[in-house]
Structure 1
């Protein structure tokens, strides 16, 4: 296919857990030969590795605003998978997409990564909330204050999508679990580990005892890494069909979830596993102190509630296959992997 006829795709965060999984899914897409993919990477050493799989790699980061604008300007589709809270980076990407529209009169697409952390409360692990958000209930989402995590960036993106020069889609992953096992992981390009659960395991190892926030009663949704990758591709495929393919702009919110867990149950299982490994002193988790929460997590984030119904993407064909049993099954290999990294 002539280069001029290819769909030009720009991916940020391509060496990360989410971005790498999305890129891997794009590379194995049925129409992959019609894609011209460019990524941004901090590592000059990874440029040749990306090139080996047919991806153009540019050395840079979210702080290189001119590069973000330049490559967004040159793209039909941007997957922003780097930092959900980087407002300046998003503005730079939107500026490039606006220029793209001005030069081609074709509306480009932005698929941005947010997160269900936008819904967190101050439960501190001591209760479960009854409040559940649906991604079809836009007024409920719009009721969230600008001070919530990710919210300021999401508002900026929706506003841009409402102007008409770009079609915007916001994907909000929940607790992502599972060790990524993509072609990019095998090449040494992609980080295979999530943040939330491995962070809890790492903190528990460092304190030599499984830990829990408060009473561990708070609830979070969850999603397997492979299912979140298919969510991005489902939204991408629908978006490529045109403006009627999937909700966008104000109606462009897509929760990534297929199950719900009590966060304290994860703490309990980790405590049991570490005790069996002779790392923890007890199979029962002990409560993190406020100092520990600040030290290991930057605050009581893991004690919050975040409850969702992921309904919008299923209307356009998303079919996640990993249910809650997959989460529980993932905890042992995750714990063993983190312990190995920590030289335990």
Structure 2
């Protein structure tokens, strides 16, 4: 009898992690997978088990559990906190044990953020990063957000005990749907757009850093989940699929100026009766301190091209206009479920970037 492929996934109750898990559960080869998910909530763990998922009850801070789960896995999807270096090291430690026991290098598919600068919304950039231009990626300063984890993961691949692949989603949009979201197990909302809407709701006007000239890429949630599964299928069947220092995969399908999305957010606030003008205004220093712990991260540029991802066979469908069109439905959903009031929830995430941007 052929042994099942053991998969460990973090972030199952999240937006992206839940979307990827759903794809794994509906995969044509799902019956040959043994999936374990890290979950903090006992209630959600019980629900998840009804889908045939094994649950490891615990958190990212329980390093022994992460290590043990990785040591029992052929493939690990790390889709939780991309800046948690101790957690990443614990997973790698477990994967090293897996290699020692089996003689086969397991696969790690890690999730991280994109490359940014410190434009403070004052200008757009023409400094393009391609996921094929490894020399340019490798030249990034280790203080670049997320980079301190990337370097450790790439170094692990250098040692030969694991094949690492790093996916870098951009501004992911769209309300996630499906059984895991219908049951309330996974979060159907992204971080970026809901953050902008909630802060605009609290301010009663849309905001931006500076004049909002900076640009960012965007990508639909279903298109992003597609990339994870395409990479998963290719990597486990062909060890030559680019990994390690060559294994960066961007997820983007077009770029937008921050001012563009801020205007659409403003119109959504007007349409919902919260604001009287759709025109966005620059965040004041008090705004930045209040909502972002002083960070100007929303004023950064991120200009990239997902050339390696497309060469792998990834074919994203939704484009910038779909992103802009998603704003009003997202706003109404947040109003309905009360999350439109989460204006300060994002502050904790931005505190880690306050000293950088």
Of 304, 316, 321, the residue aligned with 2:317 is 321
Q: Deviations over 1:31-79 (max 9, x none)?
A: 1111000000010111221111100011111101000000000000000
1:339: Cα distance to partner? Answer: 2.5
Of 135, 140, 147, the residue aligned with 1:139 is 135
Cα root mean square deviation, aligned:
1.2
The whole-number CA distance in structure 1 between the counterparts of 2:315 and 2:165 is 18
Moved more, 333-342 or 307-316: 333-342
The whole-number CA distance in structure 1 between the counterparts of 2:203 and 2:38 is 36
Of 277, 280, 299, the residue aligned with 1:285 is 280
1:291: Cα distance to partner? Answer: 2.0
Of 73, 89, 95, the residue aligned with 1:75 is 73
The whole-number CA distance in structure 2 between the counterparts of 1:112 and 1:305 is 23
Give the secondary structure class of the aligned counterpart of 1:312: helix
Tell me whether 1:37 sits opposite 2:35 in the alignment: yes
Q: Deviations over 1:149-195 (max 9, x none)?
A: 10000000000011110000000000000000122101111000000
The whole-number CA distance in structure 2 between the counterparts of 1:283 and 1:172 is 32
The whole-number CA distance in structure 1 between the counterparts of 2:111 and 2:259 is 26
Tell me whether 1:55 sits opposite 2:53 in the alignment: yes
Indicate if the aligned counterparts of 1:213 and 1:264 stay in contact, CA closer than 8 A. no
The whole-number CA distance in structure 1 between the counterparts of 2:320 and 2:40 is 35
Tell me whether 1:269 sits opposite 2:264 in the alignment: yes
Give the secondary structure class of the aligned counterpart of 2:307: coil
Structure 2 unaligned blocks of 5 or more: 342-357
Q: Deviations over 1:2-39 (max 9, x none)?
A: 5x610000000110001000100111111111100000
The whole-number CA distance in structure 1 between the counterparts of 2:296 and 2:262 is 14
The whole-number CA distance in structure 2 between the counterparts of 1:286 and 1:339 is 22
Provide the residue aligned with 1:130 in structure 2.
126
- What is the 5 A alignment of 1:1-344? 5-116=3-114, 119-244=115-240, 246-298=241-293, 299-340=295-336, 341-342=338-339
The whole-number CA distance in structure 2 between the counterparts of 1:31 and 1:54 is 14
1:241: Cα distance to partner? Answer: 1.1
TM-score by length of structure 2 reads 0.93
Q: Deviations over 1:285-305 (max 9, x none)?
A: 111112212322331111000
Indicate if the aligned counterparts of 2:117 and 2:300 stay in contact, CA closer than 8 A. yes
Indicate if the aligned counterparts of 1:174 and 1:257 stay in contact, CA closer than 8 A. yes
The whole-number CA distance in structure 1 between the counterparts of 2:290 and 2:156 is 37
The whole-number CA distance in structure 2 between the counterparts of 1:59 and 1:262 is 41
1:281: Cα distance to partner? Answer: 3.2
Residues 72 and 342 from structure 1, CA distance in 2 versus in 1: closer, same or farther, beyond 3 angstroms?
closer
Indicate if the aligned counterparts of 1:234 and 1:313 stay in contact, CA closer than 8 A. no
The whole-number CA distance in structure 2 between the counterparts of 1:321 and 1:209 is 31
Structure 1 unaligned blocks of 5 or more: none
TM-score by length of structure 1 reads 0.96
Give the secondary structure class of the aligned counterpart of 2:326: helix
1:224: Cα distance to partner? Answer: 0.4
